[in-house]
């Protein structure tokens, strides 16, 4: 086997592994969001649909679903993601540190904690 064949082999293994890891993280986020959506009174199946889950997540955070369009604007989407995380954490009785680190930076952990934990959704 020549050098090019070995690098192709490693590239195919790495891309398959990366895809599998991404799939695992997507499933973790979808399961956590499913429970968050049901706690907030929305159908859990909406957590599986990629664009729709953002619209309903923004609505659960207490803002208009139309504001989810801000996720399409570069740089604004980063700031808006932080705002949504803080407002979502506030709705579930969580503080700013939890909201930033576990809902914005590590959402696959934060949504599972919100969904399966004892926190309750509060409409303000």
- Predicted pLDDT of residue 70: 97
Neighbour tally for 54: CB within 10 Å: 20
**CA–CA distance, 62 with 57 (Å, rounded to integer):** 9
What pTM does this model have? Answer: 0.84
Q: Is 67's pLDDT higher than 80?
A: yes
Q: Length of the chain in residues, anyone?
A: 124
- Predicted pLDDT of residue 9: 61
- Predicted pLDDT of residue 18: 82
Read off the DSSP letter of residue 74.
T
What ranges do the domains of the chain cover? 3-116
Mean pLDDT over 75-91 rounds to 97
Q: Is 14's pLDDT higher than 90?
A: no
Neighbour tally for 62: CB within 10 Å: 14
Lowest mean pLDDT segment, chosen from 2-6, 27-31, 93-97: 2-6
28-46 tens-digit pLDDT = 999 999 999 999 999 999 9
């Amino acid at each position: 086997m020549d050098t090019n064949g070995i690098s192709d082999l490693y590239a195919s293994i790495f891309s398959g592994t990366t895809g599998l890891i991404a799939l695992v993280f997507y499933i973790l986020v979808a399961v956590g969001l499913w429970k968050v959506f049901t706690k907030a009174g929305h159908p859990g199946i909406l957590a599986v649909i990629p664009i729709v889950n953002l619209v309903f997540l923004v609505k659960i955070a207490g803002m208009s679903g139309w504001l989810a369009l801000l996720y399409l604007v570069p740089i604004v989407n980063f700031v808006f993601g932080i705002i949504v995380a803080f407002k979502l954490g506030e709705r579930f009785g969580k503080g700013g540190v939890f909201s930033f680190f576990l809902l914005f930076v590590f959402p696959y952990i934060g949504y599972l904690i919100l969904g399966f934990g004892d926190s309750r959704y509060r409409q303000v």
